[in-house]
Structure 1
Amino acid sequence: MNIPTLHTTAPDIKASYNGCKRWLKTSFWLLVCLSCQVQSQQLYNDLRVLTSDAYGGREAGSQQPNMSAQFIFERFKTLGLATKYQTFSFRDGIFSTAYGHNVVAQLPCNTLHCGRTIVISAHYDHLGASGSRLYAGANDNASGTVALLSLAQQLRNITRRNHVTFLATDAEEKGLYGAKHYVEHIDDAHQYVLNINLDMLAPGQNNTLYVMQSANAKHYSQTITTLQTHPLNIKLVSPNRMKRLIGDGRTDWLRASDHYAFYRAGIPYLYFGMGEDKNHHSTNDTLDSIDFDKYQQVVKFINDFMVALLSCPSDCTS
């Protein structure tokens, strides 16, 4: 049999090499796009679950962890995080006692020298239902809870110079009881360097994300400022300035969400939120009312901030 001789020239090798490079580059970006699609689908699915009729508006008060708490618990466990319930009681009305169930998950530092703990919090409870009316609480605060789950998923894969606690609180709507209970049972508040509180993250028409900071958290401003190439309108504010900027000035933003419990303990906080929502505490706060593209931008911004913060030398969060 006459087997032809193959002559491979330098141009052939170069062309083959360049073709391989193009293939690898294309494959990389396809994988990136696929990863983004998976993350996007996970965000939407989690929002859909927590706002569904079956979850009944996520009202706090049940003696055992409700479906929402169980869902969050299982999501954390699936990610490989050490997860537990933290059960507490609170006064519900004049004579009644009810129960709440925080879900707490731990992601340890993975460097040789570790900074103090960062607590990322979001309340998962809402108003429940009244007769045939369901208060789904998509923005308040399924949006923050789902962002919390997304952060837990993304931050597993990076270098972390701090321990991270993911805290899904219950009974925020009843009086911040979950956050208060968590903070009251901290052994040493000095071991906590920062609380990042996520509450109502779906931006309105002005595409604004407010980042409200305590006076002892202002040194994080530079990290936030460096990320302002995002398409969002990021506003760094104090509680007093936020009160002046939003609505009629009657909302006390310092006491309006779980970051207040950390503030009272002297722990610095950053609150991420959209401000006022016309659908707040109404049956119109549904999944359909959320601009999902804008919401994804918010989650990405907070994720980018956390990546920058956790990769920063330990003196950034000391």
Structure 2
Amino acid sequence: MQLPGISLLWLSCIISVAQAANKIEVDLRTLTSEAYAGRGSGHADINKSARYIYSRFVETGIDVYYQSFRFRHGFGKLAYGHNVVATLPCNVTPCSAALVISAHYDHLGSKGTRYYPGANDNASGVVVMIDIARQLMTQVRHREIIFVATDAEEKGLYGAHFFAATLDPERVALNINLDMLAVNSRNRLYVLASKQASAYTKDIAQAFNKEIRAQVFTSTTRMSRRLDTPRVDWLRASDHYAFHKVGIPFTYFGVGTDPLHHTYKDQFDKVDIPKLTQVSAHINAFISALSVSAAP
């Protein structure tokens, strides 16, 4: 039986979305499982979570490496962290300034016989980042795209600070930080953009639709008022702050507050996989639009 071209295209899109959802589900289920014990940080050895993320980038065909570092935490105790860094090169000239996509993979670890799964915070951001890497692998890219799964965010953004210090701000157009992307019944993401990144607000709006909306702020004060979080400094709330500190423009994507944040109940089964897949597709649409552009 022959099908019209449009039907074949429609069928191909459905299959592609289903495959993406399946991989997102597998990654999220794995990273939040008991075997990963809450993805705690601070150990000298590269942990199971970092190795899993590394393997997923390898399967995608992207060059990847570990970036290990040391930091002092608590009462000056020496601790260790391990970022996972993957790079997609620019494949069409002229090559413009790079994009850096970040998502922290560490969480709170375990306490006694219980562990903190950290499904929304921030396994959701990590699995979306990996999914975006898969999608961008076959696309035209006028920019180098760097993916960094950071460690020790929960202890003080240590992995992001270490990584950002290795970058030349003049060669990076934008940091896109993903932290807590499991949208709730409101179907809304909140985006904080630095003033240097305010030109991207229209691109972000165009990448989303009526099903999943993105509300963009260029002021932490306005974002706090909208979310009714007067005690939260959204500029310093996640890894984007490390990039901001070295002069790199940023956009931070997240759901804002979550009643399950930093509790044992932030579990895999609380995440709506189809919605998370949509979120990934929308953020990828934004990144793809920047990637195909030869603009500085």
TM-score, normalised to structure 1, is 0.90
Change (3 A) 1:227 1:248: closer
1:90 match: 71
Per the TM alignment, residue 227 of structure 1 is displaced from its structure 2 partner at its CA by 2.7
Q: Distance in 1 between matches of 2:85 and 2:56?
A: 12
Residue aligning to 1:14 = none
Letter of the 1:88 counterpart:
F
Equivalent residue for 2:172?
A: 192
Change (3 A) 1:303 1:93: same
Q: Please report how far the alpha carbon of residue 177 of structure 1 lies from its aligned counterpart in structure 2 after TM superposition.
A: 0.1
Offset, 1:207 = 1.4
Contact 1:136 1:285 in 2 (8 A): yes
Name the counterpart of 1:306. 287
- Alignment of 1:297 with 2:278, yes or no, is yes
Q: Alignment partner for residue 231 of structure 1, among 192, 211, 217?
A: 211
Give 2:186's aligned residue. 206
d(CA) in 1 for partners of 2:136, 2:208: 20
Matched, 1:117 2:98: yes
CA shift, 1:230, in A, is 4.3
CA contact (8 A) 1:230 1:301 kept: no
Paired with 1:176 and 1:89, the residues of 2 have a C-alpha distance of: 12
Equivalent residue for 1:148, pick from 125, 129, 132: 129
Question: Structure 1 residue aligned with 2:15, among 5, 17, 34?
Answer: 34
Does residue 137 of structure 1 match 2:106? no
- Residues 160, 283 of structure 1: alpha-carbon distance in 2 compared, 3 angstrom cutoff: same
Aligned equivalents of 1:158, 1:45: Cα separation in 2: 24
User: How far 1:311 sits from its partner (Å)?
Assistant: 1.6
Question: 2:233 aligns to what SS in structure 1?
Answer: coil
Give 2:175's aligned amino acid: N
- Mark the runs of 5 or more structure 1 residues left unpaired by the alignment: 1-18
Q: How many residues align?
A: 295
Which amino acid letter does the alignment assign opposite residue 249 of structure 1? P
Q: Distance in 1 between matches of 2:214 and 2:93?
A: 34
Distance 2:212 2:11 in 1: 26
Checking the alignment, whether the CA contact within 8 Å between 2:20 and 2:277 is kept in structure 1 is no
Supply the AA of the counterpart residue of 2:264.
T
1:70-109 superposed matches below 5 A: 70-109=51-90
Give the match for residue 45 of structure 1. 26
> Residue 24 of structure 2 contacts residue 273 of structure 2 at CA under 8 Å; is this kept in 1?
no
Q: Which residue, 205, 216, 230 being the options, matches 2:196?
A: 216
Return closer, same or farther for 1:83/1:248 CA change in 2, 3 Å cut-off.
Answer: closer
Distance 1:233 1:33, change over 3 A: closer
Q: Which amino acid aligns with 2:231?
A: R
Q: Secondary structure at the match of 1:209?
A: strand
- Counterpart Cα distance in 1 of 2:246 and 2:229: 29
Higher CA-based Rg: 1
Mind listing any 5+ residue stretches in structure 2 that lack a counterpart? none
Q: Is this contact kept in 1: 2:21–2:274, CA < 8 A?
A: no
SS at match of 2:68: strand
1:291 alignment partner AA: D
Conserved? CA contact 2:63–2:86, under 8 Å: yes
**What is the aligned partner in structure 1 of residue 224 from structure 2?**
243
Whether the aligned pair in 1 keeps the contact of 2:107 and 2:122 (CA below 8 Å) is: yes
The aligned counterpart of 1:271 is 252
- Cα RMSD of the aligned pairs, angstroms, is 1.4
Amino acid at match of 2:89: P
What is the percentage of aligned positions where both structures have the same residue?
Answer: 45
- Which amino acid in the other structure matches residue 31 of structure 1? S
Offset of residue 256 of structure 1: 0.4
Q: 1:309 to 1:95 in 2, by over 3 A?
A: closer
Q: Is 1:259 the counterpart of 2:240 in the alignment?
A: yes
* Alignment partner of 1:171 is 2:152: yes
